[in-house]
Amino acid sequence: SAVISQKPSRDICQRGTSLTIQCQVDSQVTMMFWYRQQPGQSLTLIATANQGSEATYESGFVIDKFPISRPNLTFSTLTVSNMSPEDSSIYLCSVERPRGNTEAFFGQGTRLTVV
Amino acid sequence: AQSVAQPEDQVNVAEGNPLTVKCTYSVSGNPYLFWYVQYPNRGLQFLLKYITGDNLVKGSYGFEAEFNKSQTSFHLKKPSALVSDSALYFCAVRISDSWGKFQFGAGTQVVVTP
């Protein structure tokens, strides 16, 4: 199974600031995905990150608020910009299982609290 | 549009009793269905999936799920629950041609009491 490392695991941030979350995978993967889990809620897909191209955002999410980088096949970052308390969530990255198998792996998540 | 519904916010069961977590789906085309579990302060862990083939799918930690096309359901089951099974369970459906894009259900909190 793929090993996914997310940093930081948690953070408390002031409103109006930005936080960059890192996701490192131990093998090369084509697609990486970022999800948000608001308190007491399910997971919602933010965007898909492909190496060498701009991320594809889901409805309700925009690049200015959640810029994503994907510099290589093992790494991605998600930035939560100009944060407000409504951004307090768990942010998770996930990857397709290598070699085209059919389940995804998830990182441990980043628990963000905006005060 | 693909979607899944988990009608129960919480399921309470005594240790040793059977556990069932319900999931119904609505998809166009072939349904690719998954169950994930989330323990406190941890990411999601894959339990099992239905892609094709046998309707009864066996997964990790003694869990299984039955795909029922006529009832559009994919209920998760375990014959004998353990206290350590207490966690948040998510049903999910693939929403594109990518194996990493899911529509998740709302989640069901399972509480197993000793």
Tell me the pLDDT tens digit for each residue of B67-81.
999 999 999 999 999
**Alpha-carbon span B59 to A98, nearest angstrom:** 19
The fraction of chain B above a pLDDT of 90, given in percent, is: 72
CB count within 10 Å of CB B40 equals: 7
Q: Is B69 exposed, middle or buried (0-12, 13-18, 19+ CB in 10 A)?
A: exposed
Average pLDDT estimate for A43-47: 94
Contact B104 A42 (CB under 8 A): yes
pLDDT tens digits, B94-103: 877 766 788 9
Q: How confident is the model at residue A50 (pLDDT cuts 50, 70, 90)?
A: confident
Contact A96 B36 (CB under 8 A): no
The fraction of chain B above a pLDDT of 70, given in percent, is: 96
Largest separation between any pair of C-alpha atoms in chain A = 42
What pLDDT score does A99 carry? 60
The strand ranges marked E within B1-114 are: 3-5, 10-14, 19-21, 24-26, 33-38, 44-50, 56-58, 64-68, 73-78, 87-94, 102-104, 108-113
What pLDDT score does B98 carry? 67
Q: How far is B52 from chain A (nearest CA, A)?
A: 11
pLDDT tens digits, A81-98: 999 999 999 999 998 766
* Chain A residues within an 8 Å CB radius of B107: 41-42
For residue B29, what are the CA distances in angstroms to A91, A113, B94, B99?
Answer: 30, 39, 11, 15
Contact A96 B90 (CB under 8 A): no
> A25 and A94 in contact (C-beta within 8 Å)?
no
Q: In chain A, whose CA is at the least distance from the CA of B37? A: A106
Instruction: Please indicate if any CB of chain A lies within 8 Å of the CB of B30.
Output: no
* Chain B residues within an 8 Å CB radius of A106: 36, 43-45
Q: In chain B, whose CA is at the least distance from the CA of A96? A: B100
Residue B37: CA count within 13 A, CB half-sphere: 17
Mean pLDDT of chain A: 91
Residue B47: CA count within 13 A, CB half-sphere: 28
Q: How far is A52 from chain B (nearest CA, A)?
A: 18
What pLDDT score does B1 carry? 75
Contact A4 B102 (CB under 8 A): no
Contact A102 B107 (CB under 8 A): no
